Structure 1
């Protein structure tokens, strides 16, 4: 039996500000933004990822302190290009650190407006072998538009 991690709840103080940060600055896709009289939740997914973040005001989220998530990890094929992209969008990112010369040993980090922190790991193999094949991403995108 496969067990897949598909959603991580992220505690934030301002849902709309978090949506704008992750969608407009980091580049995540806004999958949905659901509002009604009981709740406001939004799901955002990094391009190429099978796991999303959810920001909102559900009880499980309001029990966590905004900014308390540490070391959430993203993986990219090119850390320098990813860092440059984030910096060009106004995000403060740490310098790139190489802990190990082998693939997977290069990192940089950034934080969201609440202080939730992210580690970005370079795995060059992702360029040739993404976890979710491009064809599947294109097919999923077409299904969402229908």
Structure 2
């Protein structure tokens, strides 16, 4: 039985502001649905991703901006960081974790610059949407066995 991760819901406080932000990132606008009772759903998909995000009104009880650790895998961390910066996103400098493994929560354990050995899965950058939902870019150049 395959279980494919398809979508995650992120909590936002201002749907129109979020639409503008994710459009400015160059993400594909997939769908929007609203009813006359105030329910509104919007879906976007990052370029090259099989998974999407959904946000809106009445789709989550979570506090706006409370999502963190949403990972976007890229094959060139520096080019991805530059692309976001050119789109007006406040994105961190590239960093790696002091353990040489997965990054700590927040900014704890961050060491400036990419992983010195440029190991796959070892270099990161981070940014937030206007509500504060936290995204992490992770450079993956060679997948672990069994991953596609």
Which 4+ residue blocks in structure 1 deviate beyond 2 angstroms? 98-101
Q: Deviations over 1:65-122 (max 9, x none)?
A: 0000011110001111110011011110011013343111000000000000011001
Unaligned runs of 5+ residues in structure 1 are 132-146
- Normalising to structure 1: TM-score of the pair? 0.80
Please list every run of 5 or more consecutive structure 2 residues that lacks an aligned counterpart in the other structure.
Answer: 101-116
Q: What's the Cα RMSD here? A: 1.6
Q: How does 1:50-129 map to 2 (within 5 A)?
A: 50-58=50-58, 60-61=59-60, 63-99=61-97, 100=100, 101=117, 102-125=119-142
Q: 3-state SS of the aligned residue for 2:43?
A: strand
- 1:28 matched to 2:27? The reply is yes
1:34 deviates by 1.4
Q: How many residues align?
A: 125
- How far did residue 45 of structure 1 move? 0.5
